[in-house]
Amino acid sequence: MSALLQVKNVTKKYGGLTANNDINFDVSENEILSVIGPNGAGKSTLFKMISSFTPTTTGEVLYRGERISNLKPHIVARKGIVRTFQETTIFKSMTVRESVVVAQHLRAKASLAGYFWGSKTAREDVTAFGQYADELLDFLGMSAISNELASNLPQGNLRALGIAIGLATDPKVLLLDEPFAGMNHDETMNMVDLVRSVRDERGVTIMLVEHDMPAVMTISDRIVVLNFGEKIAEGTPSEIQNNEKVIEAYLGSVDDEIGM
C-alpha cells in the first residue's frame, strides 16, 4: 500500500506549549488509522493541522506527495481531505436530506451568481444534489429518516448525519473526531460497521481520533499513540495493546477510561 497522507516532522507550538512535537507517520490508501492518547496529548491539534484548520509551526503534511498543510481549509477539503466535528455543525433546523444537499455546495459546478439567477448549471446541480443525497442516505441506511429534522435525531443518527455530510463532499480522506463519543454499545457497533462500509464500499481512507478503546481496537488497521505531544507508538491494535510505553502513558494519566 502506498502512502496517501504523510505527516512529516510536524510540530505545533502555542506560545511556550508544544502541542505536537516532531510527529511523523504515513497513512496508506484505504486504511483506517486511529490516533489515540490521554487527554491533552495533542490529537485534536494534529487533526486540525492535517485539515489545515491551523498551520503547522514547523513540518508539513503531504497528500499524494503534495503539501497541504498551511493552505486554506476549504482548499484542502476540495482536494478531498474532509474533517467531521465532535459537535456537528449541522443546521439543526434542516431535515436530514436538506443538510446533505446543502453540504454538496462545496463541490458545486455553478457560481453563486448562477444559483441566484437560476442558471442551467445551477438547476442541474440542484437536481444532482438531491439524487446524490438520496443515494448517500440509502447507502448509510438513513432513508427512513431523510425528512426528519436534524434537531430531533438521537445521538447515533446525528453522528451518522455528520458522516453523511462529510461524504456529501466526495472525500478521499475522512477525518472523524470522536465518532463514538456518547454512544451506547449498540450504537457504537452500528457506527463501527458504518465507518467500515464507507472505507470498503466507497474507497474512503479513514483517520479517527477516539477515546473508546474497545471500538478503536475493533475498527483500526493501525494506531498512532500520542502522549504529551510526542508520538510514543505506532502499530497494529495488538502491537499497541502490548506496548509498554502505551500502557504506562494510560496508567500514568488521569484518564481512567482506557478499557484495554
Ligand X SMILES: Nc1ncnc2c1ncn2[C@@H]1O[C@H](COP(=O)(O)OP(=O)(O)OP(=O)(O)O)[C@@H](O)[C@H]1O
- Per-residue burial over 125-145, b if 16 or more Cβ lie within 10 Å, else e, is bbeebeebbeebbebbebeeb
Residue among 40 and 114 whose Cβ is closer to ligand X: 40
CB of 182 to ligand X, least distance (A): 14
CB of 154 to ligand X, least distance (A): 23
Residue among 47 and 129 whose Cβ is closer to ligand X: 47
**C-alpha 140 chain-centroid distance:** 16
CB of 8 to ligand X, least distance (A): 19
Residue among 43 and 97 whose Cβ is closer to ligand X: 43
**233 DSSP assignment:** E
Residue among 37 and 237 whose Cβ is closer to ligand X: 37
CB of 224 to ligand X, least distance (A): 12
Total residues interacting with ligand X, rule: CB under 6 A: 11
Distance of alpha carbon 256 from alpha carbon 241, whole angstroms? 15
Strands 81-83 and 173-177: parallel
Distance of alpha carbon 35 from alpha carbon 171, whole angstroms? 19
- Half-sphere exposure of residue 132, counting CA atoms within 13 Å on the CB side? 22
Residue among 41 and 224 whose Cβ is closer to ligand X: 41
Distance of alpha carbon 224 from alpha carbon 36, whole angstroms? 6
- Per-residue burial over 213-237, b if 16 or more Cβ lie within 10 Å, else e, is bebbbebbbbbbbbbebbbbbbeeb
Site string for ligand X, 8-47 (x = CB under 6 A): ------x--x-x-----------------x-xxxxxxx--
CB of 218 to ligand X, least distance (A): 20
Q: Estimate the crossing angle of helix 120-139 against helix 185-202, to 10 degrees.
A: 130
Q: Is 208 in the site for ligand X (CB under 6 A)?
A: no
Site string for ligand X, 152-181 (x = CB under 6 A): ------------------------------
Residue among 23 and 191 whose Cβ is closer to ligand X: 23
Residue among 31 and 177 whose Cβ is closer to ligand X: 177
CB of 120 to ligand X, least distance (A): 45
Specify which residues 166 forms β-bridges with: none
Residue among 45 and 51 whose Cβ is closer to ligand X: 45
CB of 67 to ligand X, least distance (A): 22
CB of 122 to ligand X, least distance (A): 38
Site string for ligand X, 41-60 (x = CB under 6 A): xxxxx---------------
Distance of alpha carbon 64 from alpha carbon 175, whole angstroms? 16
Cell 490516533 locates to 35
Residue among 35, 28, 26 nearest 219 (CA): 35
Q: For binding to ligand X (CB under 6 A), which residues are involved? A: 14, 17, 19, 37, 39-45
